[in-house]
Amino acid sequence: MPARVTTLKELAASLDLSITTVSRALAGHEQIALKTRERVAKAARLAGYVPNTAARTLVSGRSGFVGLVLPIRGPNLVDSFLGEFVTGLGEGLVSHGADLILATAALDQSELSVLRHVVESGRADGVVVTRIAEVDARLTYLRQRGFPFVAHGRLLDNGFAYNWLDTDGARAFGEAFDMLYDLGHRHFGLVTISEPMTFRHLRQDGLAAAIGRRGDPSVRLDVVTAPRFDRGARIQAVNRMLQDPDRPTAIVALFDELALTVMEEAARTGLTVPRDLSVIGFDNIVASAYAPPGLTTFDASIRQCAREIADMLLTIITDKPAAPLTRVIRPTLVPRASHGPVPQARS
């Protein structure tokens, strides 16, 4: 078994490499050949070497950490979406030799105040920001500070230059409408949220544009809204729609958790999905595959998006590209059993 080493100098000597080469290899620098990076990583692992973060920071001016603020909105620290996102982000960072710092924002704290602390403490080289609002003070602050960041989502203001990656929710909601329309549905429902989030705006616009393209005056759209994290209000809103004698035959929900609530409440009301009601969601969270009869949804590739965001952010930190990095990911339809033809008695 190789002798244990405690310093970078000892590890470099054991490999007959320069300290600079070993340091860069451990940090995942692409200027170092892949075989060398793999050789150094294996030797460090076998010798039990753990990099001294404080020393690395002094030499490079970087901490090797990326920050993410997690807001605590209830008894669960993270929801299904954030669980997938954090996993993918961690995977993407580790592959480059970087680590993730999670900072929590308590119920009585603003995310911006916690984000300021992460940035100004110097503990992170960059940050990832999720769930972007139509106007978002977090992005304004980060851009003013000139601090490296990537947003998962977009602002409504196209003139605000920043780094982002997003999924094409507008296209997905248009596709959902077209599929249901071709199955004979003309009376639609939309279950959405009241918060001014850009993804809400884009998905609703995509649905409205698809309806407009058909030019069919027989198409109707009912909309119910509730605060995103108020489950009681969400259930009440869904039941208002389901218990209406002239309820929709197909409901599109802004994201899977809302769609799953629709399916649960439909079952309590005595409706059968999809015989009496078609339901479509968005995100393809794990629960969507197991909720009877299986939720038709769009896979937003949450984990893969987070990995790509990690790559983007580390590129920004290392290379400082002149132009903002942006990318749109196309969601993939995941057809399951929750949608079908319009009920014959109501066609």
Q: What does the pLDDT read at residue 52?
A: 60
Give the tokens for residue 76.
Answer: 């669960």
Q: What pLDDT is recorded for position 159?
A: 84
Gap between the Cα atoms of 222 and 326, Å rounded: 34
Mean pLDDT over the full length of the chain? 90
Distance CA 124, CA 271 (A): 51
Whole-angstrom distance, CA of residue 328 vs CA of residue 205: 17
Say yes or no to pLDDT of 108 above 70: yes
pLDDT above 90 for 45: no
Delineate the domains of the chain, giving CATH numbers in brackets: 8-51 (1.10.260), 65-167+303-330 (3.40.50.2300), 169-299 (3.40.50.2300)
Per-residue confidence band for 58, with pLDDT thresholds at 50, 70 and 90:
very low
pTM to 2 decimal places = 0.81
Burial of 188 (0-12, 13-18, 19+ CB in 10 A): buried
Give the rounded percent of residues in the chain with a pLDDT score beyond 70. Answer: 91
pLDDT average, residue stretch 317-322? 89
Structure confidence at residue 345 (pLDDT): 63
Does 284 have pLDDT greater than 50? yes
The predicted model gives 182-203 an average pLDDT of: 97
